[in-house]
Amino acid sequence: MKTRLVIIVILLLILTVLLTRNDERITNTLISIINPLKQHYKNFTQDIEDKSQSYIFQKESIEKLTRENRVLRQRLLEQTHYIKQIKDIYSVLPALERYPVQNISITDTISYVKLNSFSQILLTRPKNLKKEKLYGLIQKNVVAGIAQVKNNQLFGYLTSDKKCRFSVFIGPKSAPGIAEGLQQNEMLVKFIPKWYEINEGDKVVTSGLDAIFFENIPVGIVTKTELHSSYKVAYIKTYSDIFHPKTFFLINDAKATLVENFDSNETRLSSTYYTVPKTIESNASKEFADDLNMSTKVISSIPKRIDQTQDDVVEPETLTEEKVIEKTIKKQKERYIPEQNNDQLDLF
């Protein structure tokens, strides 16, 4: 043991002496031996550092990309839903021309109220809706149901729900009745007077007397009738599609509107509207609605003020063909006939 220590000490002394001497051969020899070792050590440590940095960088990149992916997926879902809503709205816009725009809002279905029921839905709520008031829902061009605001939510009751009730006319003689939801694509019309003849296949339309719907909107067709003690009952097959409740027209105000200052020679209509008061009975309202036919605006010269009178007194002054021809000839005479010949050529 002592011999080994002595040998090591001697070698260290020799090495110290050699290093202290300025001999280039010894220095070069030592550098050639030590430098590769240092280089290998440096490369080894650098590789370890690069791998650690690469792992940390990849982890951060994965987390960042994951967050971005979630945001992009959320935006994609929102845009997909938005595009779907736009398609639904554009699909019903052509039918909007049939109704007075100022009295109608567009509402979309949010979800069903119950998972096991397809007759009640939650709807997006337009502005200025009153609580407890019943609003009509139109799907494309037919009756879809009614809506009501409860607990700050707009509930929709489709034609298959028992809470869906509104007044209707049946057949060519407009037999009155109250339609009530029964089941899938079927409604029951009650309280039809016994003296009205109701046949299978008769068309059922809204009456407009309950201020829920406009008049003459299609509801369905009669499938069968029954005679009760004091009135008739009719079963009808509805036109609405209760299994695809997407976008609806919501009737804010079902009152009829009239247009004044209409010129048949122009394509522009006056923007002045007047509301038919409630004092005008159903016969007069029906006469106006027949002219309107729910597809064009009523052309009339109704004054701005309508006094409360009976039906036989209130008769809107309509322009007959003779009056239109007379006014047209007068305009042409004023334009093209000289003043000095008026006395000779004026035959009217």
Q: What confidence score (pLDDT) does residue 131 get?
A: 86
Q: What is the pLDDT of residues 283-300, one digit of tens each?
A: 444 444 444 444 433 333
Whether residue 52 is found in the same domain as residue 133: no
Q: Which phi and psi (to 5°) does residue 81 adopt? A: -65, -40
- In a domain, residue 171? The reply is yes
- The residue that leads in pLDDT, 307 or 36, is 36
Q: Give the confidence band of 44 by pLDDT, cuts at 50, 70, 90.
A: confident
Whether residue 41 is found in the same domain as residue 120: no
Domain boundary, last residue among 75, 96, 117: 96
Whether residue 126 is found in the same domain as residue 226: yes
- In a domain, residue 224? The reply is yes
Whether residue 105 is found in the same domain as residue 247: yes
Q: What confidence score (pLDDT) does residue 64 get?
A: 87
- In a domain, residue 260? The reply is no
Whether residue 82 is found in the same domain as residue 114: no
Domain boundary, last residue among 66, 81, 96: 96
Answer whether 83's CB lies under 8 Å from 93's CB: no
Whether residue 7 is found in the same domain as residue 40: yes
Answer whether 261's CB lies under 8 Å from 303's CB: no
Q: What confidence score (pLDDT) does residue 342 get?
A: 45
- In a domain, residue 217? The reply is yes
Q: What confidence score (pLDDT) does residue 61 get?
A: 83
- The residue that leads in pLDDT, 98 or 251, is 251
Whether residue 113 is found in the same domain as residue 224: yes
Q: What confidence score (pLDDT) does residue 302 get?
A: 36
Residue 257 clears pLDDT 70, i.e. is over it: no
Report how far residue 53's alpha carbon sits from residue 153's, in angstroms, rounded to the nearest whole number: 55
Range among 13-17, 180-184, 331-335 with highest mean pLDDT value: 180-184
Q: How many CB atoms within 10 Å of residue 130?
A: 10
Whether residue 220 is found in the same domain as residue 112: yes
Mean pLDDT of the chain: 75
Q: What is the mean pLDDT of residues 57-86?
A: 83
**Containing domain of residue 30, as a range?**
1-96
- In a domain, residue 294? The reply is no
Whether residue 40 is found in the same domain as residue 176: no
Q: Give the confidence band of 7 by pLDDT, cuts at 50, 70, 90.
A: confident
Q: How many CB atoms within 10 Å of residue 161?
A: 24
Answer whether 204's CB lies under 8 Å from 219's CB: yes
Q: What confidence score (pLDDT) does residue 173 get?
A: 92
* Residue of 38, 29, 238 lying closest to 139 (CA atoms): 238
Whether residue 62 is found in the same domain as residue 113: no
Sign of CA dihedral 316, 321, 327, 331: positive
Q: What confidence score (pLDDT) does residue 285 get?
A: 43
- In a domain, residue 68? The reply is yes
* Residue of 84, 99, 204, 202 lying closest to 141 (CA atoms): 99
Chain Cα centroid distance, residue 120: 17
Give the max Cα distance, the chain. 159
Of all residues in the chain, what percent carry a pLDDT higher than 70? 67
Burial of residue 157, with CB atoms counted within 10 A of its CB: 0-12 exposed, 13-18 middle, 19 or more buried: buried
- In a domain, residue 19? The reply is yes
The tokens 């036109």 sit on which residue? Answer: 239
Whether residue 142 is found in the same domain as residue 78: no
Number of domains making up the chain: 2
Q: What confidence score (pLDDT) does residue 39 get?
A: 82
Q: What confidence score (pLDDT) does residue 329 get?
A: 64
- In a domain, residue 161? The reply is yes
Answer whether 268's CB lies under 8 Å from 228's CB: no
- The residue that leads in pLDDT, 136 or 302, is 136
Q: CATH no. for residue 170?
A: 2.40.10.350
Q: Give the confidence band of 333 by pLDDT, cuts at 50, 70, 90.
A: low
Answer whether 144's CB lies under 8 Å from 137's CB: yes
Whether residue 60 is found in the same domain as residue 157: no
The verdict on pTM exceeding 0.75 is no
